[in-house]
Every structure is written in C-alpha cells, then in structure tokens.
Amino acid sequence: MWLIALVGLIFPRIAALILYFFTTWFTGVFATWYWPVLGFIFAPYTMLWYSAVMNWWGGSWGTLQIVVLVIAILFDLGSSSKSAKG
C-alpha cells in the first residue's frame, strides 16, 4: 500500500488507475460515475484524498483530513497552472 501511496504522490492518475483496476478502493465511495471521472481529469490528488478519507476514516472529516484536503487542492491547482504556462 505504501508503494501505491508513493506512486500517488508522483503520478496520481497512474495510482488511481492501479487502485481502480486491481482493488475495490473506489467501490461505494462516489454516488455517481461522473465525480471520479472529473476528479481523475481535473483534480487527481483531491480525488485520491477524498477516497482515502472515505476508506480509512469512514468519511469522518476532522482537522487533519481538512488540512490535507486543502494541500491536495493546492497541488491540483499548482500542477494545472504549470501545464497552462508551458
């Protein structure tokens, strides 16, 4: 699991595909199909963290979860702005 987490930090979309095809990580996390698709395309770090909170903490959002969510959003915004400038 730690290897997937490391891959997720470097290549979040690859980690999401590995989790989707080889585990039941996303089963029951999202109510509809379009949220994970939009997350995969536009906010992969946020999607992975949201699914981690749903799987590890049962959807309970505390201070740690919210702080890491903000960091994930900043990573997503930072990675998309770099590609837009290039």
Over range 38-49, report the average pLDDT: 94
Over range 8-32, report the average pLDDT: 90
Category of 59 on φ-ψ map: left (φ > 0), alpha (ψ -120 to 50) or beta: left
Give the DSSP per-residue string, 9-69: HH-HHHHHHHHHHHS-TTTTT-SSSHHHHHHHHH-HHHHHHHHHHHHHSTT---HHHHHHH
Whether residue 45 has pLDDT greater than 60: yes
Whether residue 32 has pLDDT greater than 70: yes
Cα–Cα dist 3/74, whole Å: 23
Q: What is the pTM assigned to this prediction?
A: 0.82
Over range 21-50, report the average pLDDT: 93
Over range 59-80, report the average pLDDT: 92
